[in-house]
Structure 1
Amino acid sequence: MAVSSIGVGSGLDLATLLTNLETAESQPLAAIQARATSYTTKLSAYSQVQSALNVLKTASDKLADPDFFKTVKASISDADVLGVTTGDTAVAGSYTIDVTQLAQSQSLVSAGQASAKTAIGNGTITINFGTIHGGTLNAGTGQYTGASFDVDADRTAAQITIGTGSNTLEGIRDAINKANAGVTASVVNDGSGTPNRLVLVSTESGEASTMQISVAGDAALQNLLAYDPAGTQTMKQTAVGQDAKLNINGIDVVSASNTVLEGIQGTTLTLAKTGSTSLKLTSDTASVSTAIAAFVTAYNSLQSTASKLTAYDADTKKGAALMGDQTLRNLLTEVRQTLSAAQESDSGGMKVLSEIGVSFQKDGTLAVDASKLSNALSKSLSGVAGLFSSGTGSTSGYAKQLSALVTEVTGSDGALTTATNGVNTTLEDLSDQYNAVQARVDSTVERYRAQFTQLDVLINTLNNTMTYLTQQFDAMNATSSSK
């Protein structure tokens, strides 16, 4: 007969027996799982070491850059006069700056027109740029007398054709703007009887960006736009093209724009108004000090991580994931040796970290003597720079060497990567072992289940036979007794 559950037919606790057998067969799985857990913990520990090394490399890379130590900060007594940004080539120094004139673009205005949409005339507009020399400017009329004009041969003249569809004031404006001729055109309404005026502004400031406009074509177009500082001037100059003028420590400086490049080595001055101010450029030792402190913190963090991962717990009598790990021990030794070795002497004569107040403590960490570091930075910034980075093409410098070391050990063939790959390989092998043992356990348990099922059926059959025979014997005995 069929049975729905093991032991139902026989009355035996075969289900419990089967469970116990399965547990016994599965003991190797527990051992494999324990090993896998141990290696997973080790893998996580290596990841923590990798993270700490990355932080140390980031801090090292900053100090390994020679240009970082060249950073100069600016202090201005009157920031309303000018602003300043410093570059890699800026050097410390003090400057007195007197801005006497700001650069500006030339602006020309045409005679008023009753409508901006009425046709004026056809022709070709030619725009040259150059410099006005001599002559007298009438501030009221905006016109020159007795002046000469030198065309800038390095700038190509712009030629703009004005024809049907573009011969209105608005059309001329659009044609000039579309030509990208170095001039911005707009139409201004001044509210008079003939309010519409064409305004032309040079897109570049400076004396050399003064406009000269000639017109070939209809007289009306010529009368509207012709402008030659040395000749016919039908347009009115409302703003003269001029250079910025300033004096830096007694030296006159001229700039076509209000952005003065390299007026002082490695700086960009942005002029805002006329006036005097002082400028002080100083080496940014504060940023260097902060970077060195971050370097020390990153190193100490690596030490702290390593201590935690190699510790022994006396209470539980268990070691941390990397206790006794040769890879980590070798790594820490290399890092310590790198920071302990003397560097090549530079112009500042510094060779070891202790000379700038950075020294090893008894517990293996680094400590910074802020006062000693500040003194070293103020007396020989180049010497401090040489300790960490000796420049392009050289392998000297603690930061440069440590960065290279981290790159090596964490690279594709590095010790840490190799150790990590080994753990991953072991975990893959353990996974395969686990699956193989699990398959074997499942097969064995299924065999037991089949045998127990057969036993259950057999005992159930024997029990049924016994019951039937007992009933027959009882019936026979009852018949004999009745006789």
Structure 2
Amino acid sequence: MASISSIGAGSGLFTNDLLNQLVQVERAPTEARLNRREAETQAKISAFGMIRSALEALKTPMEALSQPDSMRSYTSSSSNESVVGVSVDSSTANRGSYTVDVQQLAQAQSLASAAFADRDTTALGSGTLSLTVGGVTTDIEIDGSNNTLQGVADAINDANAGVSAGVVDTGDGYRLVLSSDSSGTANEMSISVSDDDGNNTDSGGLSQFVFDGTTSNMEQTVAAKDAILDINGIQVTRSTNTIENVVDGVTFDVLATGVSTVKVTQDEEAVVQKVQDFVDKFNALQDQIKKVAGYNAETETGGLLNGDSTIRAIQSDLRQQLTKIPAGLEDSPIRMLADIGITTDPASGKLEFDQSVFKEKLGENPEAMTALFAESEQGGGIAAQMVASAERFLGSDGLLANRTEGLGEALQEIEDQRFELDDRIAAFEKRLIQQFSAADQLIAQIQSTGNFVQQQLAALAPQPRSNG
């Protein structure tokens, strides 16, 4: 706001305070209107953001229920966890009970060389060391740069031959120790050499590391073994102690010899919790919609988004999905959510969940329950269709994005109008200053003329006579 110190100097009538007041009176109505529009627009953007967050939160449990294995949740137990541990994959597992008799654990083979006086000075010969593990042979060159005990160990480790090498100080000398990286008889080691001394089987040079089934110049300290166990009387052999692909969806981790009873049972509570999450998030969305778009009959006031077409579309679309009968379930005893204990309160629009009814139906017909929620050959279940609906609203070109983008454009328009207001007020202020200055000059001229006339009249007035 301009401040011209000469305003009112002649008359004392047109002051800066008066100028500022007139400018503020001119600005105030438009500025108040723009402030109201901006506050309302910002509030609507925030309200749509809350609706978006609630809808995204609802989408997560809907996605879980839309999966083909959504109703297939299983838990497992072992009567003797020190012998057998167990885990399940609910997508392929089924209920069952298994007696597991572990007769032998799998173990990896270990070999040890003869003792040497030192680990990094004595030359052990040169040539090619060939390691065969699991049918794969790896050739390792040994020469003057690595022909010590430690050098051979390092060369084996660098070769990634399926064997780990180390040097052990026994107190009476140093021994090269080799261990197969994988357990089981299929991963037994075979070691042959091409010794530069011309003899590939004696105890000199590289030949002292031969272990090929015929010549055993290294000592087998641990024999390779397979895991052997009986599952319900059927013998199973595996190279590892993690037993997979014997019972669908079940993994046995054998830890010791002995017997344990393993049970796989349906985890009803886990399935119920998935559905409860869906109900809770759906009801939370209804609460959010009521907060921003509801109508209070007592105060006769509506929420900020009351009557908004986007909010109505979200409510209408989701409610329609709740009452649909998915394709293929027209003649099924389970056709809609109400059949499994999920009903809608007409007063609030919220869902009510009777878990006891749900558990009963889940036990009677898990396949129909899955088809009710998930994608199937006949078409999409309720959860799958609700996910698709949510994605339409939440997408970059969805209704929520379009509404928020439109409100953002409205904010930019308000900002543009503020610039226009500043320009108009500046021009108005300039005109006032010009008008005040002209009026002040006119008043000053009138005052000057008045003073001159008074002086002339005073000069013409009779002068009092002197008595002398």
- TM-score w.r.t. the length of structure 2 is 0.88
Structure 1 match to 2:352 = 367
Kindly indicate whether the alpha-carbon contact (under 8 Å) linking 1:348 and 1:382 is maintained by their aligned counterparts in 2.
no
Separation of aligned partners in 2, 1:445 and 1:48: 44
* 1:300 equivalent in alignment to 2:283: yes
Separation of aligned partners in 2, 1:270 and 1:317: 66
Deviates more, 1:251-260 or 1:64-73: 64-73
Structure 1 match to 2:163 = 183
Structure 2 match to 1:132 = none
Structure 2 match to 1:25 = 26
1:161 match: secondary structure: strand
Kindly indicate whether the alpha-carbon contact (under 8 Å) linking 1:215 and 1:221 is maintained by their aligned counterparts in 2.
no
Separation of aligned partners in 2, 1:262 and 1:315: 65
Q: Tell me how far 1:482 sits from its aligned partner.
A: 7.2
Separation of aligned partners in 1, 2:240 and 2:418: 76
1:9 match: secondary structure: coil
* 1:73 equivalent in alignment to 2:75: yes
Q: Quick one: structure 1 residues 166 and 354, their matched pair in 2 at CA, closer, same or farther if it must change by over 3 Å?
A: same
Deviates more, 1:279-288 or 1:413-422: 413-422
Separation of aligned partners in 2, 1:79 and 1:467: 118
Counterpart of 2:141 in structure 1: which amino acid?
T
Alignment of 1:334-349 (within 5 A): 334-346=317-329, 349=333
Q: Tell me how far 1:481 sits from its aligned partner.
A: 4.1
Q: Tell me how far 1:357 sits from its aligned partner.
A: 0.7
Q: Tell me how far 1:251 sits from its aligned partner.
A: 1.0
1:215 match: secondary structure: strand
Alignment of 1:398-477 (within 5 A): 398-464=382-448, 466-467=450-451, 470=454, 476=459
Q: Tell me how far 1:54 sits from its aligned partner.
A: 1.3
Separation of aligned partners in 2, 1:481 and 1:356: 122
Separation of aligned partners in 2, 1:387 and 1:183: 53
Structure 2 match to 1:385 = 370
Kindly indicate whether the alpha-carbon contact (under 8 Å) linking 1:127 and 1:159 is maintained by their aligned counterparts in 2.
yes
Separation of aligned partners in 1, 2:421 and 2:140: 88
Deviation track 1:7-41 (CA, whole Å, cap 9, x = no partner) reads 34312154454344324423233223323333332
Structure 1 match to 2:41 = 39
Structure 2 match to 1:11 = 12
Structure 2 match to 1:109 = 112
Picking from 194, 200, 203, the partner of 2:178 is 200
Kindly indicate whether the alpha-carbon contact (under 8 Å) linking 2:184 and 2:225 is maintained by their aligned counterparts in 1.
yes
1:70 match: secondary structure: coil
Alignment of 1:285-364 (within 5 A): 285-313=268-296, 318-346=301-329, 349-363=333-347, 364=349
Deviation track 1:148-180 (CA, whole Å, cap 9, x = no partner) reads xxxx6xx23222222213222222222222222
2:153 match: secondary structure: helix
Structure 2 match to 1:157 = 137
Counterpart of 2:430 in structure 1: which amino acid?
E
Kindly indicate whether the alpha-carbon contact (under 8 Å) linking 1:60 and 1:399 is maintained by their aligned counterparts in 2.
yes
Q: Gaps spanning 5+ residues in structure 2: where? A: none
Kindly indicate whether the alpha-carbon contact (under 8 Å) linking 1:350 and 1:386 is maintained by their aligned counterparts in 2.
no
Q: Quick one: structure 1 residues 433 and 115, their matched pair in 2 at CA, closer, same or farther if it must change by over 3 Å?
A: closer
Kindly indicate whether the alpha-carbon contact (under 8 Å) linking 2:168 and 2:174 is maintained by their aligned counterparts in 1.
yes
Kindly indicate whether the alpha-carbon contact (under 8 Å) linking 1:309 and 1:323 is maintained by their aligned counterparts in 2.
yes
* Identical counterparts, % of pairs: 36
Q: Quick one: structure 1 residues 348 and 215, their matched pair in 2 at CA, closer, same or farther if it must change by over 3 Å?
A: farther
Separation of aligned partners in 1, 2:85 and 2:411: 61
Picking from 91, 94, 97, the partner of 1:91 is 94
Deviation track 1:304-339 (CA, whole Å, cap 9, x = no partner) reads 112222334567654321122232223212211110
* 1:211 equivalent in alignment to 2:189: yes
Counterpart of 1:100 in structure 2: which amino acid?
Q
Separation of aligned partners in 2, 1:298 and 1:348: 28
Structure 1 match to 2:62 = 60
- TM-score w.r.t. the length of structure 1 is 0.86
Kindly indicate whether the alpha-carbon contact (under 8 Å) linking 2:395 and 2:401 is maintained by their aligned counterparts in 1.
yes
Separation of aligned partners in 2, 1:169 and 1:338: 73
Structure 2 match to 1:136 = none
Separation of aligned partners in 1, 2:150 and 2:4: 101
Separation of aligned partners in 2, 1:173 and 1:414: 63
Kindly indicate whether the alpha-carbon contact (under 8 Å) linking 1:263 and 1:269 is maintained by their aligned counterparts in 2.
no
Q: Tell me how far 1:435 sits from its aligned partner.
A: 2.9
Separation of aligned partners in 2, 1:404 and 1:90: 29
Deviation track 1:383-427 (CA, whole Å, cap 9, x = no partner) reads 222111133x65421111111111112334433333333333333
* 1:171 equivalent in alignment to 2:151: yes
Separation of aligned partners in 1, 2:246 and 2:419: 75
Q: Tell me how far 1:467 sits from its aligned partner.
A: 4.5
Kindly indicate whether the alpha-carbon contact (under 8 Å) linking 2:108 and 2:179 is maintained by their aligned counterparts in 1.
yes
Q: Tell me how far 1:285 sits from its aligned partner.
A: 2.4
Deviates more, 1:14-23 or 1:268-277: 14-23
Counterpart of 1:452 in structure 2: which amino acid?
F
Separation of aligned partners in 1, 2:263 and 2:93: 11
Q: Quick one: structure 1 residues 482 and 438, their matched pair in 2 at CA, closer, same or farther if it must change by over 3 Å?
A: farther
Deviates more, 1:426-435 or 1:291-300: 426-435
1:99 match: secondary structure: strand
Q: Tell me how far 1:479 sits from its aligned partner.
A: 9.8
Separation of aligned partners in 1, 2:15 and 2:124: 112
Q: Tell me how far 1:464 sits from its aligned partner.
A: 4.8
Q: Quick one: structure 1 residues 259 and 211, their matched pair in 2 at CA, closer, same or farther if it must change by over 3 Å?
A: same
Counterpart of 1:125 in structure 2: which amino acid?
L
Separation of aligned partners in 1, 2:383 and 2:164: 53
Q: Quick one: structure 1 residues 124 and 285, their matched pair in 2 at CA, closer, same or farther if it must change by over 3 Å?
A: same
Picking from 124, 130, 135, the partner of 2:128 is 124
Separation of aligned partners in 2, 1:463 and 1:394: 99
Separation of aligned partners in 2, 1:251 and 1:399: 42
CA RMSD of aligned residues (A): 2.7
1:228 match: secondary structure: coil
Q: Tell me how far 1:120 sits from its aligned partner.
A: 2.5
1:263 match: secondary structure: strand
Deviation track 1:60-107 (CA, whole Å, cap 9, x = no partner) reads 111111133333222111222232232232222111111111111111
Separation of aligned partners in 2, 1:29 and 1:355: 58
Separation of aligned partners in 1, 2:260 and 2:75: 16
Q: Tell me how far 1:473 sits from its aligned partner.
A: 5.8
Separation of aligned partners in 2, 1:44 and 1:482: 92
